[in-house]
Amino acid sequence: MAGGATDFLQAFSSESKYFLSHPFLWKVSFSSSSGGLWSAINSALSQSGDKWSANVIPDELQKDGAILVARQVTLPQESSVFSPQSVPNRGGFLPGYALIERNDFLTRSFSINFIETESDIEHGFMRPWAIALGIDGMTNFGLRADIQVQQYNNEGHKKKGFKFVDAFPTAVEGYTLSHNNDEFIEKSVTFACKNYEPI
C-alpha cells in the first residue's frame, strides 16, 4: 500500500492528468473591436475638461514577459425571469410557470480582483474608463471591450478561460491606503457585459 501511495505522489507531480490549475492567478487581456479603447477614454475625458486620463494601456503590461493577472474572477450568474400562469377553475392543480426572458447583460455582472502592478492599472486605466462612460454614456461604442481571462496549469499550458463580450466597468471599488504587511494590493472592478463564453 505504501508503494502505491508513493507511486501516486510521484505521478501527481509528473503526469499531466494530475496537474492542478493555479486558481489564484488568472491572466487578463483586453481587446477592442474598434482598436481604440484608450483613445476613446481620453477623448471623452478631454472634451469634458476632466483632469483624469488613461495613461496606462493594459497591453503594455504584458510585454517582455510581464503579465497582468487577477487573483479572483467572479463569473456572472445565469438567470431568467418567470411568471406563474394561472388558469381559472383549475381545481387542485398548481399553476404552471412561463419563462418571460433571460436577465439582461446589465444584471449579469462580473468582477475581477486585479493584483496591483508598478503601473497603477486601477487609477491609470480602470477609473478613467468608468469616468469616461459617465461622460459619453453607452452611445460611445468605443468604450466597450472584450475581456479574456485565462487560467494555466503548473506546466504553463492553458487550462480554461472565459471571454466577456462588449464589457465595460460599472463600479471601481474604493480601498484604504495604509501601511501594513500585505504583500499584494488588489483592486476590484465590477463589469457588465453583453455575453460571455468559454474559450
The 3-class SS string of 103-140 reads: CCCCCCCEEEEEECCCCCHHHHHHHHHHHHHHHHHHHC
C-alpha to C-alpha distances, 180 to 34, 70, 122, 176, nearest whole angstrom: 42, 21, 20, 11
Closest CA to 164 of 105, 98, 114, 83: 105
pLDDT in tens, the chain (199 residues): 455 555 766 666 676 666 665 555 788 888 875 558 888 888 888 887 778 888 877 777 666 666 788 888 888 888 888 888 877 777 777 778 888 888 776 777 899 988 877 778 888 889 999 999 999 888 888 899 999 998 877 667 788 899 999 999 999 987 777 776 666 778 889 999 888 899 8
Residue 134: count of CB within 10 angstroms of its CB: 10
Q: pLDDT at position 98, please?
A: 86
* Residues 6+ positions from 53 with CB-CB distance below 8 Å: 42, 45, 46, 128
Whether the model pTM is above 0.85:
no
Q: pLDDT at position 198, please?
A: 92
14: cell is 509528473
Q: pLDDT at position 35, please?
A: 56
Distance CA 41, CA 76 (A): 25
